[in-house]
Amino acid sequence: MNPPIYIIGCGYLGQRLARVYLAADAEVYGLVSSPESAQRLEAPGIRPLVHDLDSDDPPPVVVNGAWVFYFAPPPRHGVQDQRLAGFLEGLQGRPGRVLYISTTGVYGDCDGAWVDEGRPLNPQADRAKRRADAERVLADWGRRNGVDTVVLRAAGIYGPGRLPLERLRQGLPLVREEEAPFTNRIHVDDLAELCRLAMAKAPAGAVYNAADGRPSSMTDYFNRLADLAGLARPPVLSLEQAAAELSAGMMSYMRESRRLSNQKAVTELGMRFRYPGLTEGLAACFEA
């Protein structure tokens, strides 16, 4: 029997994870910021909680013994995640365990190398610095409060209803494949399964990469998607042209290249990927 499940930031991933626990008859609570989002949670049987994590009020949850999944993103600015810090300090009761979704951006640019969890963090973009801060905040809080914490560093999440089709339709360019950095992805349902396994089995303080282990480039991803969707492949630019034409946000991704190893999740948690690569994962999105 699972303890009560709290999903803080119950959006795309949260709702897929909720299904897994609901199927096992668990009590699942989902916290979101808006009443419109809360309404969407009710149909599948998630108990909605509406609360703005940026407000000064404590979160409306008593989490004694519960398993807490924290999926809300950090704020949009700065290099800290006060949203997570405020949530943890405002908690009523002591959760059984807390799992946090971070990003692989905390490793910074690795020049295309394979990266495991032992690699020192080197966040470069502010958004990655906020994630590294969140990981630190969670670990400190867990130690001070005697609560087990787990971190998953997630690669790009894709799945049904979460594919960049609009960008393809707009015909926006990407960097040509020969110069494009390595990027990594994970299908949302594999990420949900990894969340479930890590919550149930991971040792306290553990960190895992969450990626399918078959890195390619963003251009490869878009090309495959275009082919499956019957849309034109995106036009391509050299890296030099891209620096002048692509947004600063997109270029910050283009300056970082790494290949994420998922071996730790496979060997320690027994993770088996249902979608071990884009071939399987994208095909399943179109069948869905």
Quick one: which segment of 10-18, 140-148, 169-177, 193-201 binds ligand NAP (CB under 6 A)?
10-18
| Residue 65 DSSP class | T
Q: Does 37 bind ligand NAP (CB under 6 A)?
A: yes
Quick one: which segment of 48-56, 109-117, 133-141, 271-279 binds ligand NAP (CB under 6 A)?
48-56
**Closer to ligand NAP by Cβ: residue 54 or 140:** 54
Q: 102-131: which residues touch ligand NAP (CB under 6 A)?
A: 103
CA distance to 61, 63, 271, 272, 282, per residue, from 193 (Å): 25, 22, 8, 9, 18
**Closer to ligand NAP by Cβ: residue 73 or 276:** 73
Q: Count the residues of the shown chain that bind ligand NAP, applying the rule CB under 6 A.
A: 22
Residue 56, judged by CB atoms within 10 A of its CB (0-12, 13-18, 19+), counts as exposed
Strand ranges, E, within the chain: 5-8, 28-32, 47-50, 67-70, 97-103, 114-115, 148-154, 156-158, 174-175, 182-183, 185-187, 207-210, 216-217, 236-237, 259-260
Minimum CB–partner distance for residue 67 and ligand NAP (Å)? 16
User: Helix crossing, 82-90 with 126-145: angle to 10°?
Assistant: 20
Quick one: which segment of 52-60, 213-221, 252-260, 277-285 binds ligand NAP (CB under 6 A)?
52-60
Residue with tokens 């419109």: 36
Q: Does 90 bind ligand NAP (CB under 6 A)?
A: no
**Closer to ligand NAP by Cβ: residue 147 or 260:** 260
Q: Does 101 bind ligand NAP (CB under 6 A)?
A: yes
Strands 148-154 and 207-210, by their bridges, are parallel
The token duo for 264 is 């730790």
Quick one: which segment of 70-78, 193-201, 263-271, 272-280 binds ligand NAP (CB under 6 A)?
70-78
H or E element at residue 137: helix 126-145
CA separation for the pair 184, 29 (Å, rounded)? 30
Residue from the set 4, 6, 9, 128 that interacts with ligand NAP by CB under 6 A: 9
CA separation for the pair 278, 216 (Å, rounded)? 9
How large is the C-alpha radius of gyration of the chain?
Answer: 19
The token duo for 156 is 């790009």
**Closer to ligand NAP by Cβ: residue 12 or 243:** 12
Q: Fill in the per-residue mask, 153 to 192: x = in contact with ligand NAP (CB under 6 A), - = not in contact.
A: -x-xx-----------------------------------
Quick one: which segment of 5-13, 201-209, 233-241, 264-272 binds ligand NAP (CB under 6 A)?
5-13
CA dihedral 10, 15, 16, 22 (to 10 degrees): 110
Residue from the set 32, 128, 151, 254 that interacts with ligand NAP by CB under 6 A: 32
In the complex, the residues that contact ligand NAP under the rule CB under 6 A are: 9-14, 32-34, 37, 51-54, 71-73, 101, 103, 154, 156-157
